[in-house]
Amino acid sequence: MLMINCDLGECLTPNPDAQVMPLIGMANIACGGHVGNDKSMIDAIKLALKNNVKIGAHPSYNDSVNFGRVSYMLSDDELFDLIQSQVSHFQNLCIQHGATLAYIKPHGALYHDMTHQQSVLGVICKVIESIDPSLILVVQVGNEEHFKNFENNQNGGFLREVFADRGYNAMHMIARSEEGAVLNEYNAIIEQFWRFSNDKTLKIDTICFHSDNPASVEALTRLKDA
């Protein structure tokens, strides 16, 4: 069975974190870039500890207006400082509450840029090296040539991810600006989850559900009941 991860600590109303946390194995907790503050981070850390869920930092561009889903042109130094400040602050909160930061999964446009731009991936790997080289980086399945030059240098390595609730054209995610980008029926999400779980042709380590998609929360609940 694939490890299930979910984006949490995103200050949603109503807040799904308490409902979702017992259903997953990895919590990607927003670090204040697209959303999040000390209270939301601490609350999510405590919930993860209570439910024995691995804790990950979920940094993004500083973009609350667009929920971190718009790319920004930053120098390598600016990008390093942006990510490093979010992750190191989140790690300090983890330490203060007796938790361990296990991995990093960039959010939204930062995740997309990491997947397609060697320079962005390189900066994120440098952040990991500066904070804790054992941290794992969650990356998108596919595009192996893009990642292989960095994987050998990453002590923590990569976890390869697919999305239960995002639309795909073959193995390419449909852009959020296009029709079919998000699956909004829980049955379709469950079906895609099982399809990925049984796929022997791809190297998949983890599958993501989004807590801001009510259909995903419903799918997770039904999967747990099953």
DSSP-assigned letters across all residues of 26-67: EEEEE-SSSS--HHHHHHHHHHHHHTT-EEEEE---S-TTTT
Residue % of the chain over a pLDDT of 90: 86
* Each residue's pLDDT tens digit, 36-92: 999 999 999 999 999 999 999 999 999 999 999 999 999 999 999 999 999 999 999
Confidence of residue 152 (pLDDT cuts 50, 70, 90): low
pLDDT reported for residue 42: 98
CA–CA separation, 52 and 182 (whole Å)? 29
The pTM of this model reads: 0.95
pLDDT reported for residue 26: 98
CB 135 within 8 A of CB 103: yes
pLDDT reported for residue 153: 66
For the cut 90, the answer to whether the pLDDT of residue 142 exceeds it is no
